[in-house]
Amino acid sequence: MQDYATVTADAALENDVRLLVRLAIAEDLAGAIDWTTVCMIDDDVDGGCQITPRGDGICAGLAILPWIIDEFDADLQSEVFLRDGEPLVPGKPIAKLRGNVRDLLTSERTILNLLSRTCGVATLVRQYVDAIEGSSAHVYDTRKTTLGWRLLEKYAVACGGGRNHRRGLYDGFLIKDNHLQLGGNDGVPMPASEAARKAIQWRGGQVEHLTAPSMVEIEVDSLDQLRDVLPTGPDIVLIDNFSLEDIRSAVQMRNQINTAVELEVSGNVKLDTIVEIAKTGVERISSGALTHQATWLDLGFDWFDTRDKTES
């Protein structure tokens, strides 16, 4: 079964990170300077710090550290001790920065803001993934992401062991109830089966110079709609806000009518509900909570003396 592309530390992510860092620089400096640092620290002072987690979690975002440093045009060298996706140990440094102290101080908050957020998302996602380990289901994110952070938060989801749903409206057909309501004639909603067939006919086709995506997913809100749409053969049917009993019935219906279609559950997906959902036999469970409910992981700069002790 095909799937949506996984976000990696590629050129697209780099572009988004650089845009975010430029915005952060504009917020902090507004075309001026870091007055406190320039006042207190001579411009030729070198130093070092370690980025250290204050609690357990999952590492996410170290791959973007060089891009942050570069956008600050900072005279800094970085060394990382973990790979994204690996567990964090409280008090054990994940990276080391050395160089100009003015640059370290000016970039400190931006570095910590970005990494604390990505590590926080990855940490929450890992809890969801671990909760359903051994089931047939996989955990997926949604488009409920922070504006401008879409790829970075989806990258963090992947670091946590989750899977990425579509990146945007350009990335696949996802027919929802509003499309059905507004896609019909004379105020009569379009039947789900007709909508699915229409999208299937469009996939891979051309609109001007653009090629339509290949993934077709349709949302249903009743077992009757599911029964109507399964024979048309979409890649995925999204069953939204179904009760556990209806999810089990949906899986049984799918197994009888069209086993090639995967089922995705959304709505009321939380850590205390996902285990029972996974037991129903669905393949996909998506939750906006992975991103909009994630809290930041506490990271700090631990400073150390870089001077050569043998000099004196």
Which parts of the chain register pLDDT below 50?
Answer: 308-312
Active-site residue, 130 included: no
CB 264 within 8 A of CB 89: no
Token pair for 137? 């289901």
Q: Strand (E) positions, 59-209?
A: 76-80, 87-88, 95-100, 138-140, 173-175, 206-207
Predicted confidence at residue 183, as pLDDT, reads: 83
Q: What phi, psi does 79 have (nearest 5°)?
A: -135, 125
CB 83 within 8 A of CB 62: yes
Hey, how many other C-beta atoms are within 10 angstroms of the C-beta on 140? 24
Predicted confidence at residue 306, as pLDDT, reads: 67
Active-site residue, 176 included: yes
The rounded distance, in Å, linking the Cα atoms of 98 and 253 is: 60
Q: Exactly one of 18, 98, 143, 176 is catalytic; which is it?
A: 176
Predicted confidence at residue 1, as pLDDT, reads: 72
Encode pLDDT of 260-285 as tens digits.
999 999 998 999 999 999 999 999 99
Q: How far is CA 246 from CA 162, 231, 242, 299, in A?
A: 25, 19, 6, 43
CB 164 within 8 A of CB 7: yes
Predicted confidence at residue 311, as pLDDT, reads: 36
Q: Exactly one of 71, 141, 219, 235 is catalytic; which is it?
A: 219
Q: Please give the share of the chain, as a percent, with pLDDT higher than 90.
A: 90
What CATH class has 134-292? alpha beta
The rounded distance, in Å, linking the Cα atoms of 191 and 115 is: 45
Q: Strand (E) positions, the chain?
A: 46-53, 57-58, 76-80, 87-88, 95-100, 138-140, 173-175, 206-207, 210-211, 216-220, 236-240, 262-266, 284-286, 299-304
Encode pLDDT of 60-110 as tens digits.
999 999 999 999 999 999 999 999 999 999 999 999 999 999 999 999 999
Q: Exactly one of 3, 86, 240, 246 is catalytic; which is it?
A: 240
Q: Exactly one of 92, 109, 270, 307 is catalytic; which is it?
A: 109
Q: In angstroms, how far is CA 218 from the centroid of its own chain?
A: 22
Residue carrying the six token digits 């650089």: 18
Q: Exactly one of 96, 144, 197, 227 is catalytic; which is it?
A: 144
Amino acid letter, 246: D
Active-site residue, 309 included: no
Active-site residue, 240 included: yes
The residue extents of the domains of the chain are 11-128+295-311, 134-292
Active-site residue, 92 included: no
What CATH class has 11-128+295-311? alpha beta
